[in-house]
Structure 1
């Protein structure tokens, strides 16, 4: 029987093996939010993209997005993908479905190539209430989830590598220090929820969920509460 300490060690070894590419290079982590335009770097790119392929993997499936500079016409999101002049992969209006692993494969010749792995994680915030329920006196909950590659143990990504989900107000103050807010986290599922009872002065109040590592903010999603039938904006 494997005890808890051994399980934690095995989990850490598994994560470290994922963080290293086959060539010994450290894999890249890119964080984005819904609707953002991003560019995934191909750090091993040569001078021309005709030797560059991009391969996408999610769960146990993989699909070629670009093969030696030519886009695959049989993929659903082809209109949102393009190659940059440096052979980076541009994704227009990112969604949570774009999360996963991306491999930039650079062909040196017909038999030899090098790979670099880029893992895209997408942050999403959503309310538990409908717009008509967002008013003073009501309990209000926001859910913040980081959508990641299914191969990554979410708990280890946060506890071992050091990423965190943090709620802050407009001034950047961590809301965990304010007893008015109940914040609960589920690191196994990369989710953090914020719950509070809305006050009259919360109209146009802004709360932000951030992905941080140390003092660095990797990405964030802002949510602004509005009353009187106004739309809630992101």
Structure 2
């Protein structure tokens, strides 16, 4: 029965997502990873002991219970420190992550166990930003994770304006539900990037526009070395190792060559000494014969 309900809800949401006229019937929330999200339950109640919250990411994923009878469900114990129910039965999610993107369903029941009204559904989309530094170049990606495929247009703004396609120092790229901006590390070194670059996310169905100043979720600001940087580092290391081997080889060869020269010189000196001794001996014999 629960599987049938999940399939019906998924089909209903897909219809809403594909028809802009009906999209306004479903609340959409777009938040940045690391922020806090408060998802409302349409039927506000002062008593939330009979409220349940569940979650699913796509029609093919199972429905995960989060809150049951106002308490954290055992299936969500791993995230119990991030979940709570507010006074109005809204679901509060602390430190939102990409994995939190999806559809949240709120159901409320009376004391006899009968459901009060229809389910309340909320769609949560999560914006993520990171920084990648590749030696002298920085790339800032911005992407949106959501339910039912891409429904957002993403682009980077520089000082609140679109980046000129022919900009000499800044290059941008746009993809499906993501965008990136690239520039040299030597530029804008005295100004925080949060004051320069803004990721603009537009919901194509509702027309809502959200702007998020650059703020990486990882520790540090653009400190991750990319693949190209790693390759360059490996090449530099190999080159340095080759240089050291060459210097050591030349040094050994030079010492060996010098040793051979010294040995040859010693042998020649010994030969000369022997010749002199032999001459002296012969001269001594000749003189004795004459006498």
The two structures have a TM-score, normalised by structure 1, of 0.71
- Determine if the alignment matches structure 1 residue 153 to structure 2 residue 136: no
Q: CA deviation at 1:140?
A: 2.2
**Number of aligned residue pairs:** 194
Alignment RMSD, CA only? 3.0
Q: 1:127 to 1:209 in 2, by over 3 A?
A: same
Q: What are the residue-to-residue correspondences of 1:1-234 with 2, within 5 Å? A: 15-18=14-17, 26-59=25-58, 60-75=61-76, 76-107=78-109, 110-113=113-116, 114-129=118-133, 133=135, 138-149=136-147, 152-154=148-150, 157-158=151-152, 164-169=153-158, 171-176=159-164, 179-180=167-168, 181-187=170-176, 190-206=177-193, 207-213=197-203, 217-223=209-215, 231-232=220-221
Structure 2 unaligned spans of 5+: 1-11, 223-291
Q: CA deviation at 1:175?
A: 2.2
CA–CA distance in structure 2, aligned partners of residues 52 and 101 of structure 1? 17
Structure with greater contact order relative to length (CA < 8 Å, sep ≥ 6): 1
Q: 1:176 to 1:78 in 2, by over 3 A?
A: farther
CA–CA distance in structure 2, aligned partners of residues 140 and 26 of structure 1? 41
Which residue is equivalent to 1:8? none
Name segments (4+ residues, structure 1) moved above 6 Å.
none
CA contact 1:208–1:223 (8 Å) conserved in 2: no
Q: 1:14 to 1:46 in 2, by over 3 A?
A: closer
CA–CA distance in structure 1, aligned partners of residues 24 and 130 of structure 2? 36
Q: CA deviation at 1:172?
A: 1.5
**Structure whose alpha-carbon radius of gyration is higher:** 2
CA contact 1:45–1:106 (8 Å) conserved in 2: no
CA–CA distance in structure 2, aligned partners of residues 94 and 70 of structure 1? 20
The two structures have a TM-score, normalised by structure 2, of 0.58
CA–CA distance in structure 2, aligned partners of residues 67 and 175 of structure 1? 48
The 3-state SS of whatever aligns with 2:160 is coil
Q: 1:56 to 1:202 in 2, by over 3 A?
A: same
Residues 99-152 of structure 1, C-alpha deviations (whole Å, 9 max, x = no match): 11111112256343411111111111112326xx3xxxx232111111112xx1
Structure 1 unaligned spans of 5+: 1-12, 159-163, 225-230
Q: 1:196 to 1:45 in 2, by over 3 A?
A: same
Whose strand fraction is larger, Structure 1's or Structure 2's?
1
